[in-house]
A = this chain, B = another copy of it.
Amino acid sequence: MRKKGANGQESRARLLTVAANEFARSGYHKTKISTIVSRAGLTQPSFYLYFDSKEAVFNELMLKFRSQLKELIADGRLEAGISREDVPGRITAVLSSLFEFLERDPDLTQIGFFIGQEASEVKKELTAMIEQNLKAEQKDGYFQQEANMTIIAECLVGTLERLTLQQLLTGKCTPEDLAHQVVNLYMFGITA
């Protein structure tokens, strides 16, 4: 009865957005419910109207990130049979859209990649998916037979993680740019 046009879904969404921002900026523990509700223009009990607990909001955000990421990966699988010279372009496109996704909601990316223990799992899953793809492509002869794709995938994820944090989310590079550079580096190295 306080806010006239009060709308449950809107309040919930606002809380979620603010929560994401707080978690992203301050981490899980330093984030206080009191801050979230205050920034959302609500009071503490209202928070519990929409979420079961602090952990619950966090999980919801994490889940959101994970499912979006999973979906993206599922769509972007490299099909076999493309010609050798198209591989770089194809991979660039995949990475590009991955960076685009990571750029879309910085707070969510921060949470999904860097906050909480689940972030670790997320990256493990991402690594596994990438490893699968790389191995398939290796089997098809696109990559060196002796390359250890488990390690390469790990390297790549570390690279993506760091570039996301330092170049993408800071606005220093565009998704396409980053994708290009990564592909170049990983395919041909930097030797003169």
List the interface of chain A (C-beta within 8 A of B): 27, 29-30, 123-124, 127, 141-145, 147-148, 151-152, 154-155, 157-163, 166-167, 173, 178, 181-182, 185-192
Question: Of B145, B147, B162, B192, which is within 8 A of A155 by CB?
Answer: B162
Q: Are A155 and B185 in contact (CB under 8 A)?
A: yes
> Knowing A148-B181, A186-B185 touch, does A192 contact B154 (C-beta < 8 A)?
no
Q: Are B155 and A163 in contact (CB under 8 A)?
A: yes
Q: Are A144 and B29 in contact (CB under 8 A)?
A: no
Closest to A116 in B: B27
Q: Are B154 and A185 in contact (CB under 8 A)?
A: no
A64 to B54, CA, bound (A): 35
Q: Are A161 and B163 in contact (CB under 8 A)?
A: no
Q: Are A143 and B187 in contact (CB under 8 A)?
A: no
A165 to B123, CA, bound (A): 12
- State how many copies of this chain the complex holds: 4
Residues of chain B with a CB closer than 8 A to A189's CB: 185-189
> Knowing A158-B160, A162-B157, A163-B158 touch, does A147 contact B190 (C-beta < 8 A)?
yes
Question: Of B29, B143, B144, B155, which is within 8 A of A182 by CB?
Answer: B155
Shortest C-beta distance, A96 to chain B (Å), equals 15
Residues of chain B with a CB closer than 8 A to A162's CB: 123, 154-155, 157-159, 161
A160 to B162, CA, bound (A): 10
A160 to B27, CA, bound (A): 23
Residues of chain B with a CB closer than 8 A to A152's CB: 185, 190
Shortest C-beta distance, A81 to chain B (Å), equals 16
Residues of chain B with a CB closer than 8 A to A160's CB: 158
Question: Of B30, B155, B173, B191, which is within 8 A of A144 by CB?
Answer: B191
Q: Are A151 and B192 in contact (CB under 8 A)?
A: no
Question: Of B127, B151, B190, which is within 8 A of A173 by CB?
Answer: B151
Closest to A30 in B: B29
